[in-house]
Structure 1
């Protein structure tokens, strides 16, 4: 993909956060057994105030109802723990420093920048092989953010759906895992 960043379109962008979670549970049936009966209370107001932006509703729902988990011994979704929201924001800022370096080193036709730059990249997940899963922020608001993948081997690509739909489509095979290994529908690690 050199200096061009490819884009994969979601078959249909899921507007309902509940529908996105249902699709993820369908793609990863083992996730259902880890779903909490009641949402975990994350202080989103404090977290988003510290971060300087609201976060997408599908991601917040995922964080409230599921523990941290790893898919296929590969992909881990970052999530705040109640009472440790500020620490999560600090960890995100540290990741943004690495992402800034990656953006500088990338030979892309259209340069990318980390958040808080307009349209900046904000991390929501990572792989155990050093890949980043990011949102491309959008001034229209977090429900319009898309996913950007920055692989450790230098390939970058976009996905036009949200983070939860990305996970469902990646595991189900609805999208190509460009520069990534196959992600099987198995939970290989759970915490919290």
Structure 2
């Protein structure tokens, strides 16, 4: 991995490991999100995605998907969540995102998962930025977020996806190589 475009690493003051607390933090940072919440949490066959990938996904992401459909923040950042009964499609999308990996945009990044420490996509911007997990820890609850800017810069956040979204929207997180993200929510 070449570090020429590596910007740095940001860490939360306290990493939130409890999925319910992470969701509450996101809902507090993005008040309009609650209006998109499912009436009842849905059950997914997570084994379709996880067995196919060969890894358990982080609990905060699964909790978010069970409570919310896919959504976008500020018509910018699209959070890619599976649809109930269509888990195989989400698995295929995560596994088959190879065009981007072969592009110059990914030249400085780790290889895609399942390579050791490989990256696994969970979101993207409508501008071409990528939001990924770095699977460098054995426990998915400890994975960090990696942001790959369309401008070539990339950086890490040492927290989970849901906490990343909350801190990006509430201004706690410096949006390196990204535009500021407002709390406007749309379904994607």
State whether TM-score is above 0.5. Answer: yes
Could you tell me how far 1:105 is from its partner in structure 2?
2.3
Once the two structures are overlaid, the 10-residue window that deviates more, 162-171 or 111-120, is 111-120
Structure 2 gaps, min length 5? none
1:67 alignment partner, one of 66, 69, 84: 69
Distance, in Å, in 1 between the alignment partners of 2:6 and 2:31 is 35
How big is each residue's C-alpha offset from its partner over 1:11-59, in whole Å with a ceiling of 9 and x where there is no partner? 2101211111011000100011121232112110122111211100000
Q: Which residue does 1:2 correspond to in 2?
A: 4
The alignment status of 1:33 with 2:35, answered yes or no, reads yes
Q: Which residue does 1:151 correspond to in 2?
A: 149
1:142 alignment partner, one of 140, 143, 149: 140
- Residue pair 2:50, 2:57 contacting (<8 A) in 1 also: yes
Q: Which residue does 1:21 correspond to in 2?
A: 23
| Residue aligned with 2:97, SS | helix
1:57 alignment partner, one of 49, 56, 59: 59
Q: Which residue does 1:177 correspond to in 2?
A: 175
Give the ranges of 4+ consecutive aligned residues of structure 1 lying more than 6 Å apart after TM superposition. none
How big is the alpha-carbon RMSD for the aligned residues of Structure 1 and Structure 2? 1.7
- Residue pair 1:78, 1:124 contacting (<8 A) in 2 also: yes
Structure 1 gaps, min length 5? none
- Residue pair 2:69, 2:82 contacting (<8 A) in 1 also: no
Could you tell me how far 1:102 is from its partner in structure 2?
4.7
Distance, in Å, in 2 between the alignment partners of 1:166 and 1:22 is 13
| Residue aligned with 2:103, SS | helix
Q: TM-score, normalised by structure 2?
A: 0.92
- Residue pair 2:41, 2:67 contacting (<8 A) in 1 also: yes
Q: Which residue does 1:166 correspond to in 2?
A: 164
Distance, in Å, in 1 between the alignment partners of 2:106 and 2:170 is 33
